[in-house]
């Protein structure tokens, strides 16, 4: 059998390559059709009903706590605490009804070694003075006073006392004065107390001072009113949001909040965030198995998207040298290109347009990995004319003069009239759109007419109110000039570039999230020009090599529209989600190995930043079924809330038993500090991984071109 000739072999290879491209195009078109088929937000799927359930839970939970804390409904009722204190839900035993009588709550605050004493049930219309007295010796005592209307709170730092046992008491008096009692000195308050008719209510307790401070109070726990429970509900929610479930439980336990209420608050937050944010995350990140792009499909999508942009930008991309790096954490693309004689766009504008085109396609195909792009102009901005002469667009060189000068002067006359007509048309365009001219340039040759405009809207609150994007304005300017200058074009190509000097919300909306290693993840506002605002081009190059090993670059995530994008791609939630996604990716091997039960334990055991949201993202990354992830996170979150609620009191009692309760505020602050440090460390590590490998990829690729 005869071997095919070399030319024949090359032809077969090219045909095979074209066949493969056609196959990839068909696959991409099918995926696009499936993803664009039904764009309804609520489609009746399980996750939609889960989201609806979460909204109902949130309305009931947060609305209920708000009503409780506001005191609008049965604010003084203790029926809830009184009833549950007699059940196994309250291991401390039955509380005491102190409604209608004044009582004091003595506890340590969460802001250090400070003793706090609150009075309750004092008439809010009378002026009162609360006082704490600590007996130091038979002949010496110290008293701290605080005045105001109704119930009062007083703080005292007992660490100034020497080691020993101290008898202490707290009392509250009704006083009469026409002066502002809140601004009085201790001496003036003492005079008012001595002139009063006696203490309205008092309470005695003991302080044991050594290397720690112990409060000895024999009184039984008073029943909490509904308003009191509501107030502490907000306090514990704030503590859990800042420092995690551990900080919230220790805060509530130190103030004597019943365990069942601490568990209910923590569980209510977990249910709300899980049932609302997990379905939204699922809508954003989840793709059916058939819709996940493999590396060949992604490469084909990138190439054909870039190819469509070449004619619009008047450039030629060297697809043989184009390189792509697909990582778990990002997609890196290096694009070498050459300019044409009709190229007018600057490299920053070219990168903006190419990035926008890719992100729009990523949004359609559900690709949520950050995109990092580097473009290289391999002809250094020098354009080759059809006749073989080389000229620079920026210099506006006129073709070499011929011996027949009439043609040259005719051309000069034509260019002069063209520039005048173009400037007149541009003035009308600026007035029509209420814009300020920040710089225009009109150039022409025998092949094309180039118009470059930099504008700035005059509208107040431009960032929010100026709706057209720079691309909208560019297309409008092209149509406007085409209509005004048909006699000057005479078959030549009209190339228009418009740039907004002041970036607007519409311009910046092309990316759902922008991450920068040197600034915040949403550092767009630092840029002055449109291209910088949209893409964040580095001042000294796109991805330069740094001798100081500094991380540089910018990663952009495709924008999701609708409710999902509005809720999850705002600066606050987007920054949280990027960290959650990073932690989930780091634990993907474990979840794939141990599955459902590992996810329960992961959410249950108090690792730093391992709550229900991280667990949900972990299951999402591992492509577990929605129902299994939801069940595992619910079980783990419920177990965590109950475990911490019913052990927080035991931890505090254990510390008191061994005279270490003074460390409770320290433990709370330590939990908050470790959580913040853990989140910050994960954020830093993620950015290092996100940009360091990309920098190496771009640096190596640029050397090879």
Q: End-to-end distance of the chain based on CA atoms, in angstroms?
A: 42
Asked if residue 46 has pLDDT above 80, the reply is yes
The whole-number pLDDT of residue 705 equals: 40
pLDDT one-digit tens code per residue, 485-542: 888 777 788 888 887 776 554 455 466 677 766 543 333 333 333 333 333 333 333 3
**CATH number of this structure's domain 100-219:** 2.60.40
| Residues 266, 644 contacting (CB under 8 angstroms) | yes
- pLDDT-derived band at 664 (thresholds 50, 70, 90) equals low
Half-sphere exposure of 409 (CA within 13 A, CB side): 4
pLDDT one-digit tens code per residue, 392-444: 333 344 444 444 444 444 454 456 677 788 888 888 898 888 888 887 888 77
What is the DSSP code string of 448-502? EEEEEEEEEE-STTHHHH----HHHHHHHHHHHHHHH-HHHHTT-EEEEEEEESS
Name the residue ranges covered by the structural domains of the chain.
8-37, 100-219, 564-704
From the list 181, 175, 225, 277, the residue with the least C-alpha distance to 68 is 225
Asked if residue 616 has pLDDT above 70, the reply is yes
pLDDT one-digit tens code per residue, 124-182: 889 999 999 988 888 888 899 999 999 998 888 887 788 888 889 999 999 988 888 88
CA dihedral sign, ordered 63, 64, 67, 73: positive
Asked if residue 108 has pLDDT above 70, the reply is no
Neighbouring C-beta atoms of residue 408, cutoff 10 Å: 15
Cα distances from 135 to residues 15, 132, 142, 161, in angstroms, run 98, 10, 7, 11
Say what the pTM is: 0.55
Neighbouring C-beta atoms of residue 160, cutoff 10 Å: 8
240 burial level (CB within 10 Å; 0-12, 13-18, 19+)? buried
Cα distances from 153 to residues 32, 170, 228, 381, 625, in angstroms, run 63, 11, 14, 73, 52
Structure tokens given for 333: 């693309």
- Distance in angstroms (rounded) separating the CA atoms of residues 533 and 537: 8
Q: What are phi and psi of 39, to 5 degrees?
A: -105, 15
- Distance in angstroms (rounded) separating the CA atoms of residues 506 and 503: 8
């Amino acid at each position: 059998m005869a071997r095919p000739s070399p030319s024949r072999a090359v032809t077969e290879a090219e045909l095979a390559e074209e066949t493969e491209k056609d196959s990839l195009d068909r696959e991409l078109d099918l995926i696009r059709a499936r993803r664009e088929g039904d764009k309804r937000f609520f489609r009746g799927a399980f996750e939609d009903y889960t989201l609806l359930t979460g909204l109902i839970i949130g309305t009931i939970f947060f609305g209920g706590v708000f009503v409780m804390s506001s005191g609008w409904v049965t604010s003084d009722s203790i029926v809830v605490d009184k009833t549950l204190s007699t059940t196994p839900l309250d291991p401390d035993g039955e509380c005491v009804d102190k409604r209608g009588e004044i009582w004091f709550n003595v506890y340590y605050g969460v802001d250090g070694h400070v003793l706090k004493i609150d009075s309750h049930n004092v008439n809010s219309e009378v002026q009162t003075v609360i006082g704490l007295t600590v007996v130091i010796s038979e002949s010496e005592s110290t008293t701290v006073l605080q005045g105001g209307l109704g119930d009062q709170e007083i703080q005292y730092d007992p660490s100034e006392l020497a080691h020993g046992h101290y008898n202490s008491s707290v009392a509250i008096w009704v006083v009469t004065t026409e002066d502002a009692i809140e601004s009085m000195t201790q001496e003036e308050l003492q005079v008012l107390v001595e002139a009063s008719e006696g203490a309205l209510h008092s309470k005695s307790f003991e302080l044991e001072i050594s290397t720690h401070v112990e409060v000895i109070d024999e009184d039984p726990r008073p029943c909490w009113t509904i308003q009191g429970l509501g107030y502490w509900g907000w306090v514990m929610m704030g503590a859990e949001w800042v420092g995690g479930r551990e900080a919230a439980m220790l805060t509530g336990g130190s103030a004597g909040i019943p365990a069942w209420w601490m568990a209910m608050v923590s569980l209510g937050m977990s249910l709300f965030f899980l049932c609302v944010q997990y379905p939204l995350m699922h809508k954003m990140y989840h793709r059916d198995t058939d819709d996940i792009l493999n590396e060949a499909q992604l490469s084909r999508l990138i190439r054909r998207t870039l190819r469509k942009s070449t004619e619009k930008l008047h450039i030629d991309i060297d697809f043989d040298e184009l390189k792509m790096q697909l990582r778990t954490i990002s997609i890196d693309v290096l694009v070498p290109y050459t300019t044409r004689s009709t190229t007018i766009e600057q490299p920053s504008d070219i990168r903006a347009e190419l990035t926008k085109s890719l992100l729009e396609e990523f949004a359609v195909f559900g690709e949520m990995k950050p995109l990092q792009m580097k473009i290289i102009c391999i002809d250094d901005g020098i354009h080759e004319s059809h006749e073989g002469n080389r000229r620079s667009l920026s210099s506006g060189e006129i073709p070499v003069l011929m011996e027949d000068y009439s043609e040259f002067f005719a051309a000069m006359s034509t260019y002069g009239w063209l520039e005048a007509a173009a400037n007149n048309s541009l003035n009308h365009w600026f007035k029509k759109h209420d814009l300020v001219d920040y710089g225009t340039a009109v150039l022409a040759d025998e092949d094309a007419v180039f118009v470059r405009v930099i504008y700035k809207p005059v509208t107040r609150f431009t960032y929010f109110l100026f709706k057209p994007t720079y691309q909208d304005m560019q297309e409008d300017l092209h149509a406007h000039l085409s209509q005004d200058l048909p006699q000057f074009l005479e078959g030549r190509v009209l190339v228009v570039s418009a740039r907004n000097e002041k970036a607007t919300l519409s311009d910046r909306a092309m990316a759902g999230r922008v991450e920068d290693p040197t600034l915040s993840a949403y550092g767009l506002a630092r840029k002055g020009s449109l291209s910088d605002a949209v893409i964040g081009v580095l001042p000294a190059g796109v991805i330069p090599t740094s001798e100081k090993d500094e991380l540089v670059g910018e990663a952009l995530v495709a924008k999701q529209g609708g409710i999902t994008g509005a809720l999850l791609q705002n600066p606050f939630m987007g920054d949280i989600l990027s960290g959650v996604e990073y932690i989930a990716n780091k634990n993907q091997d474990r979840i794939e190995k141990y599955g459902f039960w590992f996810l329960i334990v992961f959410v249950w055991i108090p690792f730093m930043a391992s709550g229900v949201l991280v667990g949900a993202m972990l299951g999402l990354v591992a492509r577990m079924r929605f129902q299994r992830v939801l069940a595992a996170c619910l079980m783990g979150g419920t177990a965590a809330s109950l475990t911490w609620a019913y052990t927080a009191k035991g931890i505090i009692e254990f510390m008191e038993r061994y005279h270490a309760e003074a460390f409770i505020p320290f433990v709370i602050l330590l939990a908050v500090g470790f959580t913040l440090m853990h989140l910050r460390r994960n954020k830093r590590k993620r950015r290092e991984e996100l940009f360091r490998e990309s920098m190496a990829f771009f640096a190596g690729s640029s050397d090879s071109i």
